[in-house]
Structure 1
Amino acid sequence: MNIRDKLFFCIFSVSIVCIVASMAISYVVFTRSNGIENQQKIRNKTKAITTALNYAVSKENLTQDNIKAKLENKIKEIADINNQNIEVYSLQGQYLFSNQEKKGNEKKRIPPYNLKNLEKTDINIKSTDPVSKRKYICSFILLRNNVFEPIAIVHYDSSIGKNIYWETFYQYEREILVGILCIIIICFISSRIIANGLTRRLNDIAKTIKETDITNKDFKHIKYYKDNELGTLINAYNSMITQIEDQKEQISYREKNEAWKEMAKQVAHEVKNPLTPMRLLVQNFERKFDVKDPNIETKVKQLTTSLVDQIDAISSVATAFSEYTKLPEKKDQKLNIHQETKDIIRLWNDQKEISLHSNKGNIIINMDKSYFTRIMNNLLKNAIQAKDDNRKLSIKVSLEQIHHKVNIRVEDNGIGIPENRINRIFEPNFTSKNSGMGLGLTMVKKLIEEYKGEISVTSEEGIGTTFLIQLPMGNIS
């Protein structure tokens, strides 16, 4: 179960529990208030019947012997008025008469425990059946004549029927049932909306975090302005992103410094290499110098030629370093790279070992012509220098425009690049050796990145190397 479903289940469950609790409380309150109301109704009915009986007794001179003859009709009248079944018993609890005549098997005596209770009070409201243990509400009235002598016991059922009680309760429940169902539906919908709202924001945050890549140039901060638990989480994430950006800048600064230090060492090494033989050559010439030597002119010429060669080597080092550190200002123009590539290949293709393939006759981009020329010259030069002496050189150049980008692929069948060097092939690693890559690939990468492009390389020793350049369509007119 995901977080959204858990939130929905929790919110909806709490809502249902609250509704059930409300119904339970309503039942308890209804039962208690209904019981109190019934008690009051019983007391009122008892008072009305007692008043009527006392008034009837006060008009007659009654005794235990003549009560049936003189009071039976009056009892029926009082029973009809109050819609109540009234029974009259002797002081010993023996049935005498009622407003409704009963058969012999229906006549009963007043239980002894009720007779005992009547000694304490004239009215007994609560009683319990000794056999079934059922509690019920009824009334026993000790009837006195006009001289206040006990002459009989009057009994009537004062309880409100359970059917009436439950009918009232069910009516009450039916009235609020529709409201409860509406509340449940509202709780269901609102729970789903709340859960979706919370998880939607969490999903957005998760997507942003998932897309966060330390290799990206720019990190995306999350905008959230509410002061809650989610805001605390987002602030912590934004703070982390800020720290990562600062650390990336520091790492980039250190890496650049290290790269320049390494380059400076290599440049110094390449400059020092020709200086050593130059020193030895001059020292040797000085030691053997003889003005009278008939071959002095030839020896001087050899010396100057050797020195010039070494000076040219030093000059090439300086030129290459200067080209890397300072790129010319871009002058973008509409460039048909298919035609430009054909022209560049023609300069390098003396042995017809370079072929060109393109999915379109004209591929136009907005780019500086000299930048493109330097990129292609460098890649073709590297491919030619990587020739394997054991087989004929073959270089394939392919141009492909796909949707919003242009792919330029240069593939050769040369000696390949060792696996331990391929990951650092674009780092500044200057060397003046013909077999080396020098600063060329570093400069190529820099030129391509000026146009927000990318370059990658795959290689296998003994098989060959492939360089892939990708330029986004945003630079294509």
Structure 2
Amino acid sequence: MIVLVLLASILILVVTVYQYDEQTKDYNIQRFERKEATAKETIELELKNKTTYPVNTQNLSKIFKERIYEISSINKLNISIYNLEGKLLKSSKANAFEKIEENPIPAVLLKELAENSNHRILKSVEDNKIGFQTSYSYIHDPKYKRIGILELQFTQDNSEIEKELEEFISRLALVYVLMFIIAISLAYFLSSYITRSIKTISDKMEQTRLHKRNEKIILNKASSEIMVLVEAYNNMIDELEESVAKLAQTEREQAWREMAKQIAHEIKNPLTPMRLTVQNFERKFDPSDDNIKEKLAEYSQTLIQQIDVMSSIASAFSDFAKMPTQKREEIEIISVVKFALDIFAETYIKYLPLEEKLCVNLDKTQLIRIVTNLVKNAIQATNKEENPLIEVKVLAENNNVKIIVSDNGKGIPDDLIDLIFEPKFTTKSSGMGLGLPMIKNIIEAYGGNISFTSKVGIGTVFTVVLPRD
């Protein structure tokens, strides 16, 4: 809108200047033609009725000796009279005591005058804002015989006209400046009205999330196009909520299926030896056997061991299913980590704290659980190494505390990196694959994160970041 107003202003200004200039030129030419016609009539009357000299070329300078100044003064024209060869005979440009340059009419101009259909030539020249209109035509005697050439020159000072044009443009500029200010104001309020609705829509779109309830957009005043967009967004929100509900239900069902499969698999493992033990005892049971008590005790011990295994499986799944309680207490983490490492007998476990003392607000039990789980995994990764090495570091970084557990074990292949924190994933022959997912839940419950880097054949580094407060 602003650009259009600006372009319109410039175009109108250009057209105005051009039109003013053309009108000025036309006016000057018409004015000159009127003066020219009057001067010619006066000269013709002088030749027909007032002169006592014979009307011929030789007497032209005598006939208009004084009269040429009167005609020039009355019509405000410069008058010059030439013979047919273009030689100057008389001119009003100077009085009797002044001499002027007697420049003849160029031969080209004489030829053009002779060949022109109406035997008249008009020349317009502008020099330093002063315009000159000059006409050349033949002078005839009473019998319409050519006896000379008449040059009439009209001088027009355009400075006044230029001044008027400047005044007009300045007034026009003031009008367009006012229009420009109005246009800017209208554009601002109009764009604000439009963008306010769009800003509301964009803010709502930025806040749209998959796993939360999204609010619909409600606008009281908006254009029909904006309302169509709002309606489309609201419909999308309805469809999104339906899709999220279906997706959540599907994920829950899938999770329960996977969990049921895993529990069934883990429970079947101890049930098989229990079944074999019972069948074997039933087949070999002899009440009269002298060693019946020892055999019964052995049988009972076997069953109890398998029952304990099933109990540990149930406890592990129960611990994984429930989120860890965010119990916070001020503990000195350097000593707590050392306490957690004291339970391991492996001499290649090195504890390298980078701080002498470091206090944090965490659950001591959960912290020990994190450290022991990571160290156990490191021990299992290095059990076939000739010179195993496990390093545990604790350091402060900004308002966080870092626990770094590194080993020189076999490393994690690239195709298994994305599965490390998946429940029931394990590369070991025993275990349920719940250790790393469980401690990941603990760490994230405290607002921290766990990450790792690994190279096959070189080792793995786990980094735990926990907030101090």
Q: Is TM more than 0.5 here?
A: yes
The CA distance in 1 between the partners of 2:329 and 2:13, in whole Å, is: 80
**Given the superposition, is the C-alpha separation of residues 279 and 355 from structure 1 closer, same or farther in structure 2, using an over 3 Å criterion?**
same
Compute the displacement of 1:150 (Å).
9.4
Compute the displacement of 1:33 (Å).
1.9
Compute the displacement of 1:23 (Å).
8.3
Q: Contact conserved, 2:88 with 2:103, CA < 8 A, in 1?
A: no
* 1:342 maps to which of 335, 338, 351: 338
Compute the displacement of 1:157 (Å).
1.8
Quote the residue 1:195 is aligned against: none
Q: Contact conserved, 1:338 with 1:362, CA < 8 A, in 2?
A: yes
The CA distance in 1 between the partners of 2:116 and 2:427, in whole Å, is: 127
1:334-413 → structure 2 map (5 Å cutoff) = 334-346=330-342, 348-389=343-384, 391=386, 393-413=388-408
Quote the residue 2:314 is aligned against: 318
| Amino acid in structure 1 at the alignment position of 2:66 | N
Compute the displacement of 1:56 (Å).
6.4
**Given the superposition, is the C-alpha separation of residues 365 and 48 from structure 1 closer, same or farther in structure 2, using an over 3 Å criterion?**
farther
- Residues 332-378 of structure 1: CA deviation (Å, up to 9, x unaligned): 222321121122222x1334443222222222222222322221222
The CA distance in 2 between the partners of 1:376 and 1:321, in whole Å, is: 20
The CA distance in 2 between the partners of 1:295 and 1:108, in whole Å, is: 156
Quote the residue 1:7 is aligned against: none
* 1:76 maps to which of 69, 74, 79: 69
1:61-460 → structure 2 map (5 Å cutoff) = 61-62=50-51, 65=54, 72-80=65-73, 82=75, 84-87=77-80, 99=92, 106=104, 126-127=120-121, 137-138=134-135, 140=137, 155-158=150-153, 160=155, 257-346=253-342, 348-389=343-384, 391=386, 393-417=388-412, 419-429=414-424, 435-436=430-431, 438-460=433-455
Compute the displacement of 1:167 (Å).
12
| Amino acid in structure 2 at the alignment position of 1:127 | I
The CA distance in 1 between the partners of 2:341 and 2:324, in whole Å, is: 23
Quote the residue 1:45 is aligned against: 35
**Given the superposition, is the C-alpha separation of residues 380 and 80 from structure 1 closer, same or farther in structure 2, using an over 3 Å criterion?**
same
The CA distance in 2 between the partners of 1:62 and 1:151, in whole Å, is: 17
**Given the superposition, is the C-alpha separation of residues 465 and 78 from structure 1 closer, same or farther in structure 2, using an over 3 Å criterion?**
closer
Compute the displacement of 1:323 (Å).
0.8
- Residues 143-186 of structure 1: CA deviation (Å, up to 9, x unaligned): 899xx99998782324558xx7799889989x999x99xx9xxx
The CA distance in 2 between the partners of 1:303 and 1:288, in whole Å, is: 12
Compute the displacement of 1:385 (Å).
3.9
Quote the residue 1:4 is aligned against: none
Quote the residue 1:476 is aligned against: 468
- Residues 417-455 of structure 1: CA deviation (Å, up to 9, x unaligned): 455434312111177977546211110011111122221
The CA distance in 1 between the partners of 2:379 and 2:69, in whole Å, is: 132
Name whichever of 428-437 and 280-289 sits farther off: 428-437
The CA distance in 2 between the partners of 1:80 and 1:383, in whole Å, is: 121
Q: Contact conserved, 1:388 with 1:413, CA < 8 A, in 2?
A: no
- Residues 315-340 of structure 1: CA deviation (Å, up to 9, x unaligned): 11111111111134322222321121
Q: Contact conserved, 1:385 with 1:434, CA < 8 A, in 2?
A: no
1:15-26 → structure 2 map (5 Å cutoff) = 25=15
The CA distance in 2 between the partners of 1:149 and 1:439, in whole Å, is: 128
TM-score (norm 1): 0.64
How many residues end up aligned between the 2 structures?
A: 413
The CA distance in 2 between the partners of 1:345 and 1:357, in whole Å, is: 12
Q: Contact conserved, 2:453 with 2:462, CA < 8 A, in 1?
A: yes
Compute the displacement of 1:391 (Å).
3.5
- Residues 50-92 of structure 1: CA deviation (Å, up to 9, x unaligned): 576588679x654661775565322233335555443458999
Q: Contact conserved, 1:259 with 1:428, CA < 8 A, in 2?
A: no
The CA distance in 2 between the partners of 1:254 and 1:166, in whole Å, is: 90
**Given the superposition, is the C-alpha separation of residues 383 and 82 from structure 1 closer, same or farther in structure 2, using an over 3 Å criterion?**
same
Q: Contact conserved, 1:270 with 1:432, CA < 8 A, in 2?
A: no
Q: Which has the higher contact order (CA 8 A, sep 6+)?
A: 1
The CA distance in 2 between the partners of 1:325 and 1:309, in whole Å, is: 25
TM-score (norm 2): 0.65
Compute the displacement of 1:298 (Å).
1.8
Aligned-residue Cα RMSD (Å) equals 5.9
Q: Contact conserved, 2:134 with 2:151, CA < 8 A, in 1?
A: no
**Given the superposition, is the C-alpha separation of residues 317 and 465 from structure 1 closer, same or farther in structure 2, using an over 3 Å criterion?**
same
Secondary structure in 1 matching 2:278? helix
**Given the superposition, is the C-alpha separation of residues 266 and 143 from structure 1 closer, same or farther in structure 2, using an over 3 Å criterion?**
same
Q: Contact conserved, 2:88 with 2:104, CA < 8 A, in 1?
A: no
Q: Contact conserved, 1:395 with 1:411, CA < 8 A, in 2?
A: yes
| Amino acid in structure 1 at the alignment position of 2:31 | K
The CA distance in 2 between the partners of 1:91 and 1:351, in whole Å, is: 133
Secondary structure in 1 matching 2:370? helix
The CA distance in 2 between the partners of 1:97 and 1:16, in whole Å, is: 55
**Given the superposition, is the C-alpha separation of residues 257 and 394 from structure 1 closer, same or farther in structure 2, using an over 3 Å criterion?**
farther
The CA distance in 2 between the partners of 1:460 and 1:149, in whole Å, is: 119
